[in-house]
Amino acid sequence: MTVTETETADEAVEPEVCAERGRLPHPRPDGKDRYTISEVAGICGLSAHTLRWYERIGLMPHVDRSHTGQRRFTNKDLDWLDLVAKLRLTGMPVADMVRYAELVRAGEQTFPERYELLVATREDVLRRVAELRETLAVLDYKIGIYSDARRAPESA
């Protein structure tokens, strides 16, 4: 499935635009990007507990440690966490996100599996968007009824 199969040309978005849209900021330039867990928690809006859990279940790739054992995150880690946040918004199960992370770590030979996982997730999102549009139409209809009812006494 391609973008053009499910979207009009006006709705299609260029990959470069997607890469920049909603991206977590990089407060420090590459090479000087050594963030503590509390800094990353503040940047991404996740708790330190969640970040540790992501690492424990294999959702976070290897996080560097300082000589004292404290986690040190990089801009690359921020980018990964941004992707994880987007996958969470799609409703992708954590097990699938962990599987995706494993596939990424396994290398380019896993592109077909990653593709299938992301296509399936995209189809789920499109189904949910359609359901939400139907729900919105019902809400708009009901709001219209109440709006008309509120105006009726005013014109009488």
Q: Given the structure tokens 């009812």, which residue do they identify?
A: 149
Mean pLDDT rounded to a whole number for the chain: 86
Higher pLDDT, 149 or 48: 48
Domains located in the chain, CATH noted: 3-155 (1.10.1660.10)
Q: Which of the residue ranges 6-20, 55-69, 86-100, 130-144 would you say has the lowest mean pLDDT?
A: 6-20
Token pair for 94: 């954590």
- Tens digit of each residue's pLDDT (9 = 90 or more) over 61-75: 789 999 999 999 999
Please tell me the distance from the alpha carbon of residue 152 to that of residue 145, in angstroms, as a whole number. 11
Overall average pLDDT of the 8-34 stretch:
61
pTM: 0.75
- Tens digit of each residue's pLDDT (9 = 90 or more) over 95-112: 999 999 999 999 999 999
Within a 10 A sphere around the Cβ of 137, how many other Cβ atoms? 10
- Tens digit of each residue's pLDDT (9 = 90 or more) over 104-145: 999 999 999 999 999 999 999 999 999 999 999 999 999 999
The reported pLDDT for the residue numbered 155 is 59
DSSP label of 71: E
Residue among 42, 25, 27 at smallest CA distance from 79: 25
